[in-house]
Amino acid sequence: MVIKLYTRCCVFYYLNMAKRNKKQPVDVANLQPDEVNALRVVVKEFMDRMQRIDSEIDTLKSDKKELVEEFSDKLDLKTLNAALRVTKIQSEVEFKDTFDIFCEVLCS
């Protein structure tokens, strides 16, 4: 009984949140330039910026790979990554005392 009520409340909450978070549709077709040359300039600017971002992402991925290779013989990176995930979760928890109690119960 309690679980059904809880489930219904969660479903109701998420459905209402989905309705609230919808943005009003924007008529982008009326906002973009009508003239082909003006549109070409905007599209070119967009594509240039997108390609620059993609290039930066590729560079960062390469740098990250090199960093992992550099430290792979000095650190247990698998364990370090697991510890980083745990600390990230801990920093995002609202009720830290309750979280600590749950962890203690689950780990014992």
Decide which of 103 and 30 is more confident.
103
Spatial distance between the Cα atoms of 41 and 31, rounded to a whole number of angstroms: 14
Query: Which pLDDT does position 50 carry in this prediction?
Result: 97
Identify the residue whose tokens are 């109701």. 12
Query: Which pLDDT does position 1 carry in this prediction?
Result: 43
Q: Residues 79-103: pLDDT tens digits? A: 999 999 999 999 999 998 998 899 8
The whole model's pTM is what? 0.54
**Cα radius of gyration rounded to whole Å, the chain:** 24
Query: Which pLDDT does position 38 carry in this prediction?
Result: 85
Question: Which residues lie closer than 8 Å to 72 by C-beta, 6 or more apart?
Answer: none
